[in-house]
Copies of this chain bind each other. A is one copy, B any other.
Amino acid sequence: MVEESQKLSFHPASPPGCKIELPSRNICLDIMQQLRSVMFPGYFRLSEFSDDGMVFHVGAILDRVAIDLQEQIRRGFCFECAGDGNLEHCTTRAETITRAFVDKIPDVMGLLAADVQAAYDGDPAAKSPGETIFCYPGIFAITNHRIAHELFKLGVPVIPRIISENAHSVSGIDIHPGARIGRSFFIDHGTGVVIGETAVIGDRVRIYQGVTLGAKSFPLDENGNPVKGIDRHPVIEDDVVIYAGATILGRITVGARSVIGGNVWLTQSVPPDSSISQGKELKTGKKQQN
């Protein structure tokens, strides 16, 4: 009984014309793969082409990405407001957003360049920046995040989440598309990292596997439902290092240059230059490294 009604609710209550308009996970992931090849032209696909031809290849990829992405965004709107029926409006909005996104690509490339450098500098085992692009799950995850975040800021539904869940599946790193992350960010190993929707992370922050930047609690409205849109995740200031397994909960602030030790459970703000540890061995200036 209940099942029957629920089952029906799976199917977006769409008018026939909207029937085939759900976004395609595969196409979204192909778009990400195309963007990755543009972001790191020496590493994915494009490496085989000539210098002279590079401008054409990048142009061609971006043109195709724009066409595909616009269609997926349009479908994303259809997915959200299924039944609204204002097909034309969706198309126009998708077009505007796609253009705005494409304009942001150079900025994203700049941010990723700094992330790669941070990974190379931060891991003594890294032999070259190239190795981090090729092999590091942290670079995979932050690439997906920076793109998903731009789409999130532009109000695109569903697709940012598809992109971030792809990174989650591949790397074990779960960053909500809404999280604001500064320059030169580095996640090492990464499995089990969770970064919540309203988290704010400064520049040159470094975190290790199993770190949670979560919410501690949230106020309920009169109906017992959580109040939406409240900042409920931590603020991590510049140059902070957070070691493996640390759990940081709630809208607290970790002051600049602080070091949070492995497995630490932290629910209160700490001032800049703090050194918090579960045991006693960890001191500022020394670093745990796996």
Contact = CB atoms under 8 A, between A and B. Distances in A.
Interface in A214-272: 214-218, 220, 225-226, 228, 232-233, 244-245, 247, 249, 262-263, 265, 267
A64 B212 CA distance: 43
Copies in the complex: 6
A161 B174 contact: no
Interface in A48-98: 48-53, 55-64, 66-67, 79-80
A3 interface: yes
Nearest to A16: B51
A25 B169 contact: no
B247 A245 contact: yes
A116 B4 CA distance: 13
Contacts of A144: none
A181 interface: no
Interface residues of A, number: 112
A124 to B, nearest CB: 4
Interface in A104-129: 106-107, 109-111, 113-114, 116-117, 124-125, 127-129
Contact of A59 (B19, B22, B59, B265): B59
Those 10 A-B pairs whose CB atoms lie nearest each other, nearest first: A3-B110, A53-B63, A56-B59, A6-B113, A214-B290, A217-B286, A60-B60, A11-B42, A215-B289, A56-B60
27 contacts: A3-B113, A6-B113, A6-B117, A9-B113, A10-B41, A10-B133, A19-B48, A22-B43, A48-B67, A49-B63, A49-B64, A52-B63, A60-B60, A80-B127, A124-B228, A125-B197, A131-B161, A134-B158, A137-B169, A168-B191, A194-B209, A212-B244, A214-B262, A214-B290, A220-B285, A249-B262, A249-B288
